[in-house]
Amino acid sequence: MAQPKLLLIINPAAGKMRSKAAMFSLVDIFCRAGYRVTVQTTADRGDARQAAADMAQEHDVVVCCGGDGTLNEVIDGLLSGGAEVPLGYVPAGSTNDFAHSLGLFPQPEKAARAIVDGVDQKIDVGIFNGGRHFAYIASFGAFTAASYSAPQASKNALGHFAYILEGIKELSALQSYRVRVETKERAFEDEYMFGAVSNSTSVAGLVRLDESLVDMSDGLFEVILVRKPRVAGDLSKILLALNTGVFEGNDMFDFFKASDVTFRMETPAAWSLDGEFDEGAKVVTVKNRHHAFTLRH
C-alpha cells in the first residue's frame, strides 16, 4: 500500500508559528502518523491559494497552518483547483473565528493530532459575486476594516482585543450605506452601518452568536444588518447587542437566515472576506455552496 501524502501549507508569520520548533513539531506528528509530508511556506498574499490550487490534487490530505486569512486562501485554492481532498486546519492566527466556531484545538500540536485521529465533516462556504470563496464571513461597514487593518504586531500581542480597539476607532466616523438587501423570501432597505453574511459563531472578530443559531453545514448563512444610529440611545442598543449577541427585539438590527443574498448599494462599500480585503461593487451577490469541502478534525 502506497504511503499517504500530506501537503502542509504554513504561514510562518502567523502568531503561533514564529518559531522553527513549532513547525518541526507539526511535521514530526504527521510523519509519525505515517504520512509523507511536503511543506510549503508562504511569503506573500496569494501564496497559500496558489499552493493549494497547484499541489492539492497530488496529495491525500491538505493541512493549513495559519490564521483565518491563510485558511481562506487555501479553501479558495482547493475549490478553484477542483481538488476533492480532506482539509485539516491548525489555527495559528490571532483570532481564529473559524476554528472557534468548530471547537478546534487552539494549540497547534493538539490540532495536528486531532487531524491525524479525526473524522470528516462537510462544510459550507460562500461565493462572493460569483468569484472568490470565503469560509465563514463576508462583511461591510463599521468594524469591517478592523479585520484587515489591525497591525499584525497588535494581532499577535493582543489577539481578539486588537480587533476591538480598531472597531472602537471606527465608531467615531459611523459611516452608513443605503442598501437594499434581497433574499428569495424577503427584502430589507435602510441605512445600515454594518452588514455581515456569516457561517460562524464569531462575526468580524467582535460579535458572538449563540452556538444554537449556527450550523456550518446546513446550507444557510446568518445575516446581520445594523442600522445607522440616529440618537445616543440607538448606539447604546447596538453596543449592548454586540456585547451579548442577543438581537431579538432590538430595532437596530435585522437578523435572519438565507442561502442566497443580494446587496444593492447606492455607494459601493469595501468588504472583508474572512479578514481579507475586497473592493465590493454596487451589486453584490453572496451564495451558499452547500457541503463545498471536507474538513478533517
Domains and CATH numbers, the chain: 5-118 (3.40.50.10330), 134-290 (2.60.200.40)
Q: What is the pLDDT of residues 227-252, one digit of tens each?
A: 888 877 887 887 777 777 788 889 99
Q: What is the pLDDT of residues 72-117, one digit of tens each?
A: 999 999 998 898 999 999 998 766 788 888 889 989 999 999 999 9
- pLDDT above 70 coverage of the chain, percent: 85
Q: What is the pLDDT of residues 167-223, one digit of tens each?
A: 555 555 567 899 999 999 999 999 998 899 999 887 655 677 888 888 999 999 999
Instruction: Output the pTM of the full model.
Output: 0.83
Going by C-beta distance under 8 Å and a sequence separation of 6 or more, which residues neighbour residue 109? 25, 26, 29
How far apart are alpha carbons 157 and 172 in whole angstroms?
25
Helix ranges restricted to H, 90-196: 97-102, 108-117, 144-149, 152-158, 160-171
Q: Across-strand partners of 90?
A: 65
Arithmetic mean of pLDDT, 11-23:
74
Q: Which three cell numbers stand for residue 10?
A: 504554513
Q: For residue 158, is pLDDT > 50?
A: no
